[in-house]
């Protein structure tokens, strides 16, 4: 029961009251029982695009206390109850043979303040569109970003998107940060985790409990517009946090080729060729991160946050010039191309 179509979600038309309602959430990574449906893009150009910032209410669907049903996923002998799959201090590890032993901060966290890193980023470090893929990032870069979060320098155009990690950064000790950074830096990014597809139409979507988009029931389609629609290949497995079940990202037709020009040449002066800092293969240099084959929604959101001024610190300063002349459409194209590099859509 795979979901092979993307869905809508766009410029947030009236976000102020929505954000006020959820601003009190201490963590933006947990979501709702009743999914929040997002509407078509509005004409407002000064608001962050809703499809890139899928924020929802807390998840209270952990299952009844007496629910002992054991759940399973393909290719795994492990079994977990619904409540166990939503345990932020002991998230499910369906495929332990696919990664080295996790340090305690990754597998368990530290109650009551520090969630297990694997709860959101998964034991493989693959992450999802609502958070970062950490596998293979330089340990020094991860530590630097955690320091920026702790200092309030790495924020977002939509504050609730970074509320979770800001709180985590404050709660984590220096030792815990180093241990987590070393673990994720030692992992290999998973090839094919995100499948990029150029399309004119996508299904309507809603935000589901893992804070990502998923097709709404009924299978209605609509124009993609100027958006990236990234959904799980299998919604049910995504909800269970199966680290073997990836995502499909729908991008506008022609965006990969346009993005390639911007990434490789700078688009006739519109930006700076990404290889200048991120390496000829775009897989990072020293403490500069890999940008190839990462979630296009996540990449777009970071570019948008850099341009909005929400991200500060050393990284924010370095990215000011590259993003200054980029439109939302340019950033969509750049994100589409970068995600496609090892996804099969483009090499």
DSSP collapsed to 3 states, 133-174: CCCCCCHHHHHHHHHHHHCCCECCCCCHHHHHHHHHHHHCCH
Q: What is the mean pLDDT of the chain?
A: 86
Residue 13 confidence (pLDDT):
37
> How far is CA 51 from each of CA 26, 45, 158, 160, 329, rounded to the nearest angstrom?
21, 14, 12, 14, 14
Q: What band does 104 get if pLDDT is binned at 50, 70 and 90? A: very high
**Where would I find the beta strands (DSSP E) of the chain?**
36-37, 194-198, 201-203, 205-208, 212-215, 221-223, 229-232, 247-251
Strands 221-223 and 201-203: antiparallel
| pLDDT single digits (tens) 176-210 | 999 999 999 999 998 899 999 999 999 899 999 88
Give mean pLDDT, residues 62-68. Answer: 62
Residue 66 confidence (pLDDT):
56
How many Cβ atoms from other residues are within 10 Å of residue 328's Cβ?
19
Phi, psi dihedral angles at 258 (to 5 degrees)? -65, -40
53: pLDDT strictly greater than 90:
yes
How many Cβ atoms from other residues are within 10 Å of residue 23's Cβ?
11
Per cent of the chain over pLDDT 70 is 82
Give mean pLDDT, residues 214-222. Answer: 94
Residue 142: name the closest of 191, 182, 89, 91 by CA: 182
Q: What band does 62 get if pLDDT is binned at 50, 70 and 90? A: low
Give mean pLDDT, residues 37-57. Answer: 65
Residue 36 confidence (pLDDT):
34
> How far is CA 223 from each of CA 11, 167, 218, 254, 299, rounded to the nearest angstrom?
14, 37, 16, 15, 22
Tokens representing 43 are: 């004409």
Give mean pLDDT, residues 289-298. Answer: 96
343: pLDDT strictly greater than 70:
no
| pLDDT single digits (tens) 21-46 | 333 322 333 333 233 333 333 333 46
């Amino acid at each position: 029961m795979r979901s092979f179509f993307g869905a809508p979600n766009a410029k947030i038309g009236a976000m102020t009251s929505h954000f006020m309602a959820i601003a009190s959430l201490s963590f933006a990574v947990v979501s709702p029982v009743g999914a929040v449906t997002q509407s078509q893009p509005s004409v407002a150009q000064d608001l962050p695009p809703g499809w890139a910032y899928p924020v929802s209410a807390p998840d209270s669907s952990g299952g009844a206390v007496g629910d002992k049903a054991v759940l399973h996923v393909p290719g795994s002998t492990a079994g977990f109850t619904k409540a166990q799959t939503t345990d932020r201090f002991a998230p499910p590890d369906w495929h332990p043979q696919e990664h080295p032993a996790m340090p305690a901060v990754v597998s368990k966290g530290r109650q009551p303040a520090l969630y297990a890193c694997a709860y959101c980023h998964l034991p493989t470090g693959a992450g999802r569109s609502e958070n970062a893929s950490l596998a293979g990032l330089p340990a020094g870069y991860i530590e630097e970003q955690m320091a920026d979060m702790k200092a309030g320098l790495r924020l977002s155009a939509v504050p609730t998107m970074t509320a979770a990690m800001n709180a985590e950064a404050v709660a984590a000790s220096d030792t815990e940060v180093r241990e987590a950074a070393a673990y994720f830096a030692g992992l290999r990014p998973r090839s094919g985790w995100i499948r990029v597809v150029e399309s004119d139409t996508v299904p309507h979507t809603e935000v589901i409990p893992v804070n990502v988009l998923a097709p709404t029931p009924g299978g209605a389609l609509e124009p993609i517009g100027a958006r990236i629609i990234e959904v799980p290949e299998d919604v049910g497995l995504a909800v269970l946090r199966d680290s073997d079940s990836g995502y499909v990202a729908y991008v506008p037709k022609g965006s990969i080729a346009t993005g390639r020009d911007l990434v490789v040449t700078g688009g006739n002066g519109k930006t700076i060729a990404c290889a200048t800092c991120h390496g000829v293969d775009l897989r990072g240099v020293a403490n500069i991160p890999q940008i190839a084959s990462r979630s296009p929604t996540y990449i777009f959101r970071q570019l948008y946050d850099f341009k909005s001024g929400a991200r500060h610190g050393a990284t924010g300063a370095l990215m000011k010039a590259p993003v200054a002349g980029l439109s939302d459409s340019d950033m969509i194209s750049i994100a589409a191309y970068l995600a496609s590099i090892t996804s099969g859509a483009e090499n």
